Chains A and B, each alone.
Chain A
Amino acid sequence: MATIEMSNMKKRYPNGADVIRDVSLSIAEGEFMVLVGPSGCGKTTLLRMIAGLEDITGGDLMIGDRRVNDVSPKDRDIAMVFQNYALYPHMSVRDNIGFALKLRKTDDGEIKRKVEEAAELLGLTPYLDTKPRQLSGGQRQRVAMGRAIVREPSVFLMDEPLSNLDAKLRVKMRSEILKIQRRLGVATVYVTHDQTEAMTMGDRVAVLSKGDILQCDTPQNLYDHPVDQFVASFIGSPSINMYSAQLSEGAKFLNIGGESVELTDVAHISHPSLASYANSRITVGIRPEDLELVDKGTPNSITATVELVEALGSELLVHFNTDAKAVVVEGVKDEEETILEASGAGVARIEPRASVKAGDIIGLRPNPAVMHFFDVNTELAIY
């Protein structure tokens, strides 16, 4: 068991591309740290740098109290689970799990005992003598886990280990991985592009974009206090509604499109710097659950046309359109996702039995206490 300490880590490819710009992060003993970000943000590269599969071109990496920048992967005392599991197809499950031990010249009885113990933990006992190709996706995933845990490493590294599984199994394996990790108490770095996975699994989540960590915090803090527009729109599903807005009468009112919403004292108490943006343009972010369904024309509400209603049973997701100008944060979503959205589109999460249908004109009243405000130039949050 060990801590991981990254200070000013950098990765520059020979062609001059900076994939990791300047990353500092410490991971405590037994902590489950998730690295999340859109594809190409450098999260996998960072993980591979910790593993020793990529050179570190600047900064320091400490595992425990040892600087491991130039230590070869096998001597870093880590275990890694890959997205495609990388099981050896010509070896049985038993040999796959025991391979690392065999390389270390552990004696046969010991290997057998450890492999069987791991298999027991993962429910793989009946499959020990089968080949990987005879296993289902979930079982293969568990073999990959088994291969990692049998070595009793001081750090686990996981690179999107669940992305090859179907949705249902993924949810199940999430909790299984967490349980095992809790039981073994080994510091874990887990890479994913799926923010739901990040939020549900991480003790802390580090959001990466373009080779930098934008914010690293507990899932709830990320959600409640994003440092900038990117984090705000990356975390949360459905994602936050962001509109271009104008403060008026100092910072008393917020004009979103043609509507005006009064910013009550709560908003000013929680966001004292808002006063310095008096009468200027800002970006406002409203989480889908922070919109309340009211009659149209209700004071402090935004008028919206319902485009689509998704009934999820426990809640309704109302997709609407307004005359406000939506702010799209670059790089958060795939192009395909954004292309269909109208310029003032948004989503509200409301109680399940409200009578709303497509085509209705409704009022949506944002809760000023939990609104997010961003500087239009720096895109940083205003607190």
Chain B
Amino acid sequence: MRVARVGWRRYLNGVNFGVVVVILFVMLPIYWLVISSLKQPAALGATPPQFFPNPLSLTNYRDAFSTYGFGVYFRNSVVVTIATTILVLFFGSLAGYGLGRLPMRGKSTILITLLIISLFPGIAVVPPLYLLERTVGILNSYQALIIPYTAFNLPFAIWILRNYFQGIPKEMEETGRIDGASPWRIYWSIVMPQALPGLFTAGVFTFTAAWTEFLMALTFNNSNSFRTIPVGIALFGTPFNIPYGTIFAASVVAVIPIGILVFVFRKSVVSGLTSGSVKG
């Protein structure tokens, strides 16, 4: 006979143990990142490793901003990422709506083309894009990144939003038409509010992709005043001195916006990804 476990013993089972292991596996590097950023340089490589930094120090953070100009990179990343996200959501929702709803020829061709574009390896398109941007004369600018980021993040956003729009019953729009709403009004007051989870999902993914993109940012903008966070951090220091503590501190700051974003929109993101599979 099984003895019913009471109190905290109820939670002792294989599944919960597995969950704890996975959480530790995921969280430990982040924990290590955070505590390392709070260590003094000497404590970084200490043996045995310090799991609790002593003394706590904010020197690394100060250095990141004052010595290494992290503020500039941060600002650049914010500008590029937000602009990209807005553009992707704007065009993505219009295209997704069109592909999900309107009668048109060659829909599947368009969708498959989009999918192929999104699967292109970045390294293959960087050289031609570099030449293109040089010819157009937009190297070392925000648009040097915003334009390609928008282009490469649009396919995924269109796919997600298209699926979301398809999940909205057509009758809602028809009711709107009968009630006298203009097409723009229907899109704005009836369709969009219901597609919000899809927008959040596409938004979070685009934001994350643009925020962490490295290759294009490194190649297209080699002027320090247009570098974004990933490139900026990578170029911290000199060949003779790699300021690990500062890199850790900058990384923590870089992770925060994404953490907040995912935390705030976590429910929408999950429902956005599963739309169509569970929505009736």
Contact = CB atoms under 8 A, between A and B. Distances in A.
Most buried by B among A80, A86, A103: A86
A88 B177 contact: no
Nearest to A48: B174
Contacts of A83: 171
A91 B178 CA distance: 18
Given A86-B169, A88-B172, A79 B180 contact: no
Interface in B158-186: 169, 171-172, 174-181, 185
Interface in A89-128: 89-90, 99-100, 103-104
B43 interface: no
B177 A53 contact: yes
Contact of B171 (A78, A86, A90): A86
B190 interface: yes
A90 B179 CA distance: 17
Interface residues of A, number: 23
A147 B190 CA distance: 15
Contact of A100 (B172, B174, B180, B193): B180
Contact of B194 (A52, A80, A89): A89
B174 A86 contact: yes
A53 B174 contact: yes
A172 interface: no
Nearest to B171: A86
A82 interface: yes
Contact of B175 (A72, A80, A90, A104): A80
Interface of B: 169, 171-172, 174-181, 185, 190, 193-194
Interface in A47-95: 51-53, 72-74, 76, 78-80, 82-84, 86, 88-90
A151 interface: yes
Contact of B178 (A78, A84, A88, A90): A78
From DSSP, what is the main secondary structure of chain A's interface residues? Answer: loop
14 contacts: A51-B174, A53-B178, A74-B178, A76-B178, A82-B171, A82-B174, A83-B171, A84-B171, A86-B169, A86-B171, A86-B174, A90-B194, A103-B179, A151-B179
A103 B178 contact: no
Contacts of A100: 179-180
A227 to B, nearest CB: 34
Nearest to B170: A86
Top 3 closest pairs, chain A to chain B, by CB: A86-B171, A74-B180, A100-B179
Contacts of B194: 88-90
Given A52-B177, A73-B174, A74-B177, 16 more contacts: A51-B174, A73-B178, A74-B180, A74-B181, A79-B178, A82-B174, A83-B171, A84-B169, A86-B171, A86-B174, A88-B190, A103-B181, A103-B185, A104-B180, A147-B179, A151-B179
Contacts of A104: 180
B101 to A, nearest CB: 14
B79 to A, nearest CB: 32
A274 B193 CA distance: 65
A88 B193 CA distance: 9
A73 B169 contact: no
A143 to B, nearest CB: 12
Contacts of B181: 74, 103
Contacts of B172: 86, 88
Nearest to A101: B179
A90 B172 CA distance: 12
Contacts of A53: 174, 177-178
A121 to B, nearest CB: 19
B193 A73 contact: no
B103 to A, nearest CB: 10
Contacts of A88: 172, 190, 193-194
A82 B180 contact: no
Contacts of A76: 178
A343 B181 CA distance: 55
A86 to B, nearest CB: 4
A51 B178 contact: yes
Nearest to B172: A86
A73 B177 CA distance: 6
Contacts of B178: 51-53, 73-74, 76, 78-80
Contacts of B193: 88, 90
A152 to B, nearest CB: 13
A80 B177 CA distance: 11
B135 to A, nearest CB: 45
A99 B177 contact: no
Contacts of A89: 194
A72 B181 CA distance: 11
Contacts of A84: 169, 171
A380 B154 CA distance: 61
Nearest to B173: A86
A74 B179 contact: yes
Nearest to B168: A89
Most buried by A among B171, B172, B178, B181: B178
Interface string A143-161: 0000100010000000000
Nearest to A83: B171
Contacts of A151: 179
A100 B171 CA distance: 15
B175 A82 contact: yes
A311 B273 CA distance: 52
B228 to A, nearest CB: 36
A86 B177 CA distance: 12
A74 B181 CA distance: 8
